[in-house]
Amino acid sequence: MAKNDVKVLGAWPSTFVMRPRIALNIKSVNYEFLEETFGSKSELLLQSNPVHKKIPVLIHGDKPICESMIIVEYIDEVWTSGPSILPSDPYDRAIQRFWAAYVDEKWFAAMRGLRIAQGEERKAFLDQVTEGLALLEEAFGKCSKGKAFFGGDRIGLLDIAFGSLLGWLRVTEKVGKVKLLDEAKTPGLVKWAESFCADAAVKSIMPETEKLIEFSKLLMAQMKGAPPPKN
């Protein structure tokens, strides 16, 4: 598949953009990464995602695919010669999808709240984040069955959904001076995070914590002026 047949529209700091990139790396698919300029939306983005106007967008030939986890499933279904991202058993697939949706709908919102909020409100978000991590630790035990990843021996759907958040999790730990992944409380997730970040499909695209911290200052400044860029 020629490189310019597969494009990813996105931005390097974005959790959601990491997901299709990891999936394409797992499948050894070459792609062109088209970076959006911070603070504006390109014509190509507005044309290929007119409904939500958000990144990431995968453009395969002339077909745009939107929404990060939908893109990941698409990648898994198209490039069948590479390692599978979803398990083959329908029940296992349902469990992976359930937790991926939980990460996006519940846990991500709590993480974002934790980064921004102050005082009592911040404490409430911290409790939600910590409770969520306890649930995910338990889910990891059940899904991994003693192996390195939620997907077993290899990175799977839920690893991608949750692992893509590790960059910003580290930012929150450093800037917020709080320990979220903890050897005592979430030992499974601590080891998993190391394995995930070290994986060949992830290493080259996981943003460095310091760079994300610098970027988050830009984001905060923009938030004070205009509505924050959505992912």
Partner 1 sequence: MADEVVLVDTWVSMFGMRVRIALAEKGIKYEYKEEDLCNKSKLLLKINPIYKKIPVLIHNGKPVCESLIIVQYIDEVWNDRSPLMPSDPYPRACARFWADFVDKRVYDVAKKVWTTKGEEQEAAKKEFIEAFQILERQLGDHPYFGGERFGFVDLSLIPFYSWFYAYETFGNFSIEAECPKIIAWAKRCLQKDSVASTLPDEKKVYECVVQMRKRFGVE
Per CB under 8 A, residues contacting partner 1 are 51, 60, 63, 65-67, 70-71, 73-74, 77-78, 90-91, 93-94, 97-98, 101-102, 135
Q: Least Å distance between CB 127 and partner 1?
A: 16
Q: Least Å distance between CB 213 and partner 1?
A: 30
Q: Least Å distance between CB 71 and partner 1?
A: 7
Q: Least Å distance between CB 66 and partner 1?
A: 6
- Shortest CA distance to 136 belongs to which of 158, 115, 151, 109? 158
CB of 86 or CB of 124, closer to partner 1: 86
CB of 135 or CB of 223, closer to partner 1: 135
Q: Least Å distance between CB 63 and partner 1?
A: 6
CB of 9 or CB of 206, closer to partner 1: 9
Q: Least Å distance between CB 27 and partner 1?
A: 13
CB of 66 or CB of 126, closer to partner 1: 66
CB of 36 or CB of 73, closer to partner 1: 73
- Shortest CA distance to 16 belongs to which of 125, 130, 148, 163? 163
Q: How many angstroms separate the CA atoms of 137 and 75, rounded?
A: 27
What HEC string does the chain produce? Answer: CCHHHEEEEECCCCHHHHHHHHHHHHCCCCCEEEECCCCCCCHHHHHHCCCCCCCCEEEECCEEEECHHHHHHHHHHHCCCCCCCCCCCHHHHHHHHHHHHHHHHHHHHHHHHHHHCCHHHHHHHHHHHHHHHHHHHHHHHHHHCCCCECCECCCCHHHHHHHCCHHHHHHHHHHCCCCCCCCCCCHHHHHHHHHHHHCHHHHCCCCCHHHHHHHHHHHHHHHHHCCCCCC
CB of 14 or CB of 167, closer to partner 1: 14
